[in-house]
Each structure stands twice: as C-alpha cells, then as structure tokens.
Structure 1
Amino acid sequence: MSERIFALPFNQLYPLYLNKIQRKGRTQAELDAVLRWLTGYDTATLHTSTLPLRDFFTQAQMPLASSQITGVICGVRVETIRDPLLQQIRQMDKVVDELAKGKAIDQILR
C-alpha cells in the first residue's frame, strides 16, 4: 500500500486537496501558503509538479517545525509513524485537514 502512495504524482493529489479545502470555504491561496511553508516549493511548482510523492519529498525543504505536526490522520497518530516518507505525506495531509477544518493559517504554520 505505501509503495502505491509513494508513486502517486503530486499533480494528482493537489486537486483533491484543493477540492477539499474549497468545499469548506478556504481558498487556493491559503492552500498554497500552507504547502509552500511545509515543502519549500514555490506556487508554480505546487501547481505543476508531476513528481511522484517519493521524489517530491526527497527534494522538499521541510521546516524544522514540521516535527510539531501531531494528531490523527487516517486513524494513525502522525508523530508515531516510523517511515520518514510516509510521515511527511501524513504531515501534509494533516495540515491540509487543519486548513479545511478552519484552523487559522498562523496556527497551522506553527
């Protein structure tokens, strides 16, 4: 299962995130701000990257504060995930989920 997630191109995941947050009244600019903070990628790259998640996160510049991303996503505590790549993917899921749930941007960016 993890290998299938690792091979997923980012450009297939981004529209799903965008739909999720827009249904909750958030904007693409807010999503981009959160993802830029988490990955270090610029907006243009976020909108066009075809890299599989494995490579996307290998090249990402994750902030030190990403270790403060905690909580449950998909029934698993993010901070207890042992695989570093899977943890980074779930951290991204978690910050997008926080955005969709109405959390303030400055709190998401820790």
Structure 2
Amino acid sequence: MKTRIKKQPVRRSSFALAATAILVLILGTPPANAEEVPREYIYGAELMTPNERDAYRQGLQQAPTDEARGQYRHRHRQQLQKRAQQRGKHLDEKGLVRGQGSER
C-alpha cells in the first residue's frame, strides 16, 4: 500500500514570500515626500566644541528680538574669526575652515 503525500503548490508559498518581501520594502522606505530635517548651520562650527555649539544655540534662543540675535551672531562671527586666525586657519563667508586641515 502506497502512502500518498499531498504536495503544497509551490506557487502559494512563493507568492507569500514575495508579498512579505514587498511589504518589508514598502514599509521600510520613507515616502518620497517625507520632510527632511534641515541641517543646522553654525558659523565656524568646526572650531567649536559640542558644549560651545550648545551654548551658541541657547544664546540665540534667549535673544529677545531679531536685532539681538543679529548682534549675537555678529559677536560670534568675530570670535570665531579670531580663533581661526590664532590657529593659522581662515573661515570663508560660510564659516567653513580653510587652511592646513580642519581640526577643533
């Protein structure tokens, strides 16, 4: 007497595997119109420590007016230009270090 083994159709398991893979790809990929987090810009950030960058952010947040924030940025820019000069570096208009390498 022969025992018959019922075979599962290959199509059904392949379909389930393919559907699962597609769902993982779709759900794991952010939508094309997802908002990107804007990159923070701090003039001369390469010459600053993380604590100094935090203090700069706090100073800007605590400035009561746009004019006060502008003055704060101006003082910051002057301080960082002086620091760059002391280190034999140069900050361009965007605040990026130019010179012999960039180190903090």
Output the TM-score relative to the length of structure 1: 0.28
Give the number of the structure whose residues are more often helix, by fraction. Answer: 1
Q: Identify the structure with bigger relative contact order (alpha carbons < 8 Å, sequence gap 6+).
A: 1
Give the structure with higher Rg (CA): 2
What TM-score, normalized by structure 2, do the two folds share?
0.29
